[in-house]
Amino acid sequence: MEFFEEEISGNFIHDIIDADLAAGVNDTVHTRFPPEPNGYLHIGSAKAIYINYSTAKKYGGQFNLRYDDTNPVKEDDEYVQSIYEDLCWLGANPDGGVFYGSDYFDKCYEFAIKLIKDGKAYVCDLSAEEMKEYRGTLTEPGKNSPYRDRSVEENLDLFERMKNGEFPDGSKTLRAKIDMASPNMNMRDPAIYRIVRAHHHRQGDKWCLYPLYDYAHPIQDALEGITYSLCSLEFENHRPLYEWVVDNIGFEKKPKQREFARLNVTYTVMSKRYLRKLVEEQLVDGWDDPRMPTICGLRRRGYTPASIFDFVKRAGVAKAYSIVDYELLEHCIREELNAKAARKIAILDPIKLVITNYPEGKVEYFPVSNNPNDPEAGTREVPFTREVYIDRSDFAEVPPPKYFRLKPDGEVRLMGAYIVKCNEIIKNEDGSIKEIRCTADLETRNEKPIDGRKVKGTIHWVSSAFAKDIDVVLYDKLFTIPNLNDMGENETYDDYLNRDSVKVLKGCKAEASLTNDDDVRYQFVRTGYFIKDRKKDNTFIRIVELKDSFSK
């Protein structure tokens, strides 16, 4: 991908790798992205992808995609397919291979047998509530399970019977035997296997015994030859358990886990559970709703892979918690499209303007720049006729002070064409404006008035005879407050869901050269950046406004 052809900036993770390479700890860099297929990827996932993929690329290493499909209750092939599609669209090619955690179930089981034989794992009959009671608190040590001292033979027998489905779900677990007095709660004999009867999307009904993530993940990393397991900061306290698993199974090549701060964005929720609720309750138009922080939602909205990774890069790679302004994401796509997007004329709230002194049936063509920031983009010819559409916001019957657009007896420049003067307003029976009648100074065909008078206002327009009908959708932020962590004690995300975040404009008018092609982004002159909705013909979504509110 073009974005990754640029020089990849260093960060604290790269400092660790540089030191390891210099000391001979590793001689290669192999990373992975391990999403659970229980939902669609979101903007937070993009940070994990960027860090793992760009790190491997910087050091000439490899990058794996591995589905963490160890929880059959929540996982589905729909999510498997969407994850791969999003990863490929972002340009993060998993050149090290595509793997599934469930394909390692046999090896995980074998290693559990080894831990039991080594006296480092035992079958426990405590219920979930009892385990919680025995676990202790942050200030008090836990208590040993009454089943902790079962013999190796009894544990092997019970674990085999657990695998064979002889016990009810949740009735037994296999726990690592570590230290119930450890100051790290994750090391207090954590469960590493549980009984779950559920159909697995890949393994079918082969297993009713499933490994937990903290046990399975380091095994998967080690088996794949991952050198650096780069993950978000909530796993930092899990690192000792990660290392315990790798050490006690006896892997010679040991992956190194290191953590970075998650990507938090204003006006956004990253909870897959809540995003799924929005979809299931039809509060949004699917996972790819353009208001959603999902990768497919951002894609439908018109964001590009380069703009998303540019945002992640500017947000920074660090360990400290921070929340990044959504306006930075908008700034990144705006900056890209300002340089690249073709300009088109569209009138979102059209009102007819009749030029009474222009001949009926006459058509002229005016050259208009395709992109003033790119001289090589050239120009296109836009037709001009007696009747044109202008935007209703560009006319004021009772104008405020210093109003330079069209007003009674006032003059404006029709962009790239003539100066016109408002002479008459025709109204409907309800008092609304039906049309505006003007005269054109026909000596001002894209020229200054010969008498030297100054006309300050310029407005855009589209010929009514050549106009194309389109619908336009304007999306606002999904939530009404910037930081959802500021919610009150008894409040939920629902309390701050923006119920007015979609505005559909019917009957808009656009120049005929506007195409219906997917993935083509345009600047609608004086309005914003738009893309055709990939799910609806003749419907265009606003990607972002022209105005940049990000404080640079």
What distance, in Å, lies between the first and last C-alpha atoms of the chain? 27
Q: Around 79, how many Cα atoms within 13 Å sit in the side-chain half-sphere?
A: 21
Two tokens at 485?
């962590």
C-alpha 353/C-alpha 412 separation (Å) is 12
Nearest to 213 by CA among 72, 68, 79, 66: 68
Query: Which residues, at least 6 apart from 413, have a Cβ–Cβ distance to it below 8 Å?
Result: 419, 444, 455, 457, 458, 459
C-alpha 87/C-alpha 98 separation (Å) is 11
Per DSSP bridges, beta strands 342-344 and 521-524 are parallel
Partnered with residue 540 across adjacent β-strands are 472, 532
One-character DSSP codes across 294-360: BHHHHHHHT--HHHHHHHHHHH---SS--EE-HHHHHHHHHHHHHHHPEEE-EESSEEEEEETTSPT
Catalytic option among 150, 172, 272, 334:
272
Burial 395-406 (b: 16+ CB within 10 A, else e): beeeeeeeeebb
Catalytic option among 148, 258, 262, 468:
262
Give catalytic status of residue 445 as yes or no. Answer: no
32: helix, strand or coil: strand
Query: Which residues, at least 6 apart from 345, have a Cβ–Cβ distance to it below 8 Å?
Result: 368, 382, 415, 460, 461, 462, 510, 511, 524, 525
Catalytic option among 36, 85, 236, 435:
36
CB atoms under 10 Å from CB of 412, counted, come to 24
Residue matched to tokens 């309750």: 281
One-character DSSP codes across 441-477: ETT-TTS--TT------EE--EETTT-EEEEEEEE--
Residues written for the chain = 552
The H-assigned helical ranges of 35-164 are: 43-58, 77-90, 105-117, 128-135, 152-163
Give catalytic status of residue 272 as yes or no. Answer: yes
Give one word for 139, left, alpha or beta, with left for phi > 0 and alpha for psi -120 to 50: alpha
Crossing angle of the two packed helices 105-117 and 152-163, in degrees rounded to 10? 160
Give catalytic status of residue 336 as yes or no. Answer: no
Helix (H) or strand (E) holding 403: none
Two tokens at 108?
């995980």
Query: Which residues, at least 6 apart from 5, have a Cβ–Cβ distance to it below 8 Å?
Result: none
What residues are labeled active site?
36, 262, 272
